[in-house]
Amino acid sequence: MSRRGGERTPERLLAAAARILRRAGVDEPRAEAECLWEGVSGTPRAQLRSGRAAATAAHARRFHARVRRRAAGEPLAYVEGEVEFYGLRLRVDRRVLIPRPDSETVVDAALPRLPPERATRVLDLGTGSGCLLLALLSQRPRARGLGVDRSAGALALAAENARRLGLGTRAGFVRGSWLDAVAPGCADLIVSNPPYVEPSEALGPGVAEHEPHLALFTPPGQPYRAYDAILHRARVVLRPGGALVLEAGAGRARALAERCAAAGLRVLEVRRDLGGIERAVAAVAP
Ligand SMILES: C[S@@+](CC[C@H](N)C(=O)[O-])C[C@H]1O[C@@H](n2cnc3c(N)ncnc32)[C@H](O)[C@@H]1O
């Protein structure tokens, strides 16, 4: 990526970066190089090819550093420091799981349980970046919510995301384990995407190396451990008629629905994600 004489144009930098990313095995090297350039320069991708402006030395240095991190296998979202979820731009770093598009299924399944005209209360267990809670609050201006997590770093980032999105006055964040410290009868809706990956399961490139293990893994042979901890108190914490919406790992939604029923909840729906996988289980308290 040296200048080698000629003008340092974005196009030259992009071409060199795409070569580096291709050699590193990145699937869409040119597209990712453009995303990284957009992140450092603020130039929208659509304008890149037509743009004649020279890249500043500071932009080029920052771009080079990001390309190196990406070529070393760090997920694009961490390198960029941001990701889009349910139409919101969220800050992400190694303190939190990168929100996945599949998890938008939880939001879709939860929204019908939050009447827009009512001042409802939402609990998000294992809030991470705050993605589920903030997506719900962004769609329901009268709702308030609490995000719970065991990770202090995740809670700090979730609170930052809430402030940046103008949702800070309606979202609180508290450190704790699932529903342990939550008062009875306080929630109209509980959502959660708890850790459900067994250590022996295969994950995508870079996931186990870079994303927090507290967010990913359940102990060996106990894929329902976090769900069971949540279901143990869900009925007590929900108001009558309140709903619980849980994200499920592939192939586990039906068994999870049975566990919800065994915990005294009425299962309403098992919703598929865009890939056709049963992803979210919605149930209500009597
Ligand atoms: C799969 S991540 C989900 C993050 C975010 N809600 C999302 O959907 O992208 C699981 C989250 O649960 C948190 N967690 C793990 N054990 C927990 C516990 N005992 N109590 C509360 N949160 C916990 C992790 O720190 C992590 O943020």
* Cα of 223 from ligand 1 centre, angstroms: 14
Q: Which residues line ligand 1 (CB under 6 A)?
A: 96-97, 99, 103, 125-129, 131-132, 148-151, 154, 177-178, 193-195, 214-215
The answer to whether residues 68 and 106 belong to one domain is: no
Strand pairing of 278-284 and 266-272?
Answer: antiparallel
| Tokens linked to 76 | 């694009």
The answer to whether residues 66 and 100 belong to one domain is: no
Q: What is the residue with the minimal CA distance to atom 5 of ligand 1?
A: 128
| 11 CB neighbour count, 10 Å cutoff | 14
The best mutation among 97, 227, 231, 245 to test binding of ligand 1, ranked by most ligand atoms within 8 Å of the C-beta, falls on 97
Domain that holds residue 60: 10-72
For 198-233, b/e burial (b = at least 16 CB within 10 A) is eeeeeeeebeeeebbebbbbbeeeebbebbebbbeb
Q: Which atom of ligand 1 is nearest to the CA of 106?
A: 8
**102 in helix, strand or coil?**
helix
The answer to whether residues 126 and 268 belong to one domain is: yes
CA distances from 2 to 11, 51, 62, 65, 111 (A): 13, 20, 14, 13, 51
Q: Which atom of ligand 1 is nearest to the CA of 127?
A: 6
CB 117 within 8 A of CB 144: no
The answer to whether residues 101 and 57 belong to one domain is: no
Is the per-residue pLDDT at 44 higher than 90? no
The answer to whether residues 164 and 277 belong to one domain is: yes
* Cα of 46 from ligand 1 centre, angstroms: 36
Is the per-residue pLDDT at 81 higher than 70? yes
What's the CA dihedral at 27, 132, 84, 1 to 10 degrees? -60
The answer to whether residues 160 and 280 belong to one domain is: yes
Closest of 157, 160, 120, 158 to residue 140, by C-alpha: 120
| Tokens linked to 150 | 């065991």
Q: Which atom of ligand 1 is nearest to the CA of 229?
A: 19
What local confidence, expressed as pLDDT, does residue 156 receive? Answer: 98
Q: Which atom of ligand 1 is nearest to the CA of 85?
A: 9
The answer to whether residues 207 and 174 belong to one domain is: yes
The best mutation among 134, 193, 201 to test binding of ligand 1, ranked by most ligand atoms within 8 Å of the C-beta, falls on 193
CB 284 within 8 A of CB 243: yes
User: Among 49, 72, 95, where does a domain finish?
Assistant: 72
CA distances from 127 to 43, 157, 158 (A): 32, 10, 7
pTM of the full structure? 0.94
What's the CA dihedral at 111, 194, 86, 83 to 10 degrees? 170
Q: Which atom of ligand 1 is nearest to the CA of 126?
A: 12
Distance CA 51, CA 199 (A): 47
pLDDT tens digit string along 183-226?
999 999 999 999 999 999 999 988 999 999 999 999 999 999 99
* Cα of 35 from ligand 1 centre, angstroms: 28
Is the per-residue pLDDT at 5 higher than 50? no
The answer to whether residues 59 and 197 belong to one domain is: no
Distance CA 234, CA 256 (A): 14
Cα–chain center distance at 246: 14
CB 243 within 8 A of CB 259: no
Structural domain count of the chain: 2
pLDDT tens digit string along 112-157?
999 999 999 999 999 999 999 999 999 999 999 999 999 999 999 9
